[in-house]
A = this chain, B = another copy of it.
Amino acid sequence: MTRLRADNPQGARQALAERFRAWSGSEFDLSRCPVRGVLDRLGDKWTTLIVIALSQRPHRFSEVCRAVPDISKRMLTQTLRDLERDGLIARRVFPTKPPTVEYRLTELGESLLEPLVTLIAWAEGSQTRIAAARSAFDAASAAA
């Protein structure tokens, strides 16, 4: 199987063509689509911020709470659980008097940092163009 490559735009298109054919073959089983699962997780508003925070060093529960502003404890707990379930972070409990719980990225979690940085780089490089497109679109919509 050919490896996915993203050396250049053409390569990206061809790599996608290949994946696309593979997925469309037979009958596109959604459960076999790994992108869906990953993007669902990454897209859920807090995951990325938590991963970024943990990429710096292990955090305790309340450290993450402070590092990620506006997140509720409810959502923090749930997001950490999901991340732990997927093997991206590890949870360790120390039996201190006020219990200490530490969360850290696993090796798998660290391997996610590279694609994530690629995406962040794109986002930062494209944000002005996206903002411009939005303004133009909204202006055109308002006119009509």
Spell out A's residues near B (CB within 8 Å): 3-6, 8-9, 11-13, 15-17, 19-20, 28, 30, 34-40, 42-45, 48-49, 52-53, 55-56, 69-70, 84-88, 108, 110-124, 126-127, 129-130, 132-134, 136-138
Partner of A117, one of B4, B44, B133: B4
* A108-B129, A120-B19, A123-B34 as given contacts; A9 in contact with B114, CB under 8 Å: yes
> Do the beta carbons of A111 and B126 come within 8 Å of each other?
yes
The smallest C-beta distance from A87 to any residue of chain B, in angstroms, reads 3
The oligomer's copy count stands at: 2
> Do the beta carbons of B4 and A86 come within 8 Å of each other?
no
Quick one: closest B residue to A137, CB to CB? B85
* A69-B28, A117-B12 as given contacts; A34 in contact with B124, CB under 8 Å: yes
Quick one: closest B residue to A21, CB to CB? B56
Quick one: closest B residue to A81, CB to CB? B137
Partner of A87, one of B19, B84, B130: B130
> Do the beta carbons of B118 and A53 come within 8 Å of each other?
no
> Do the beta carbons of B6 and A85 come within 8 Å of each other?
no
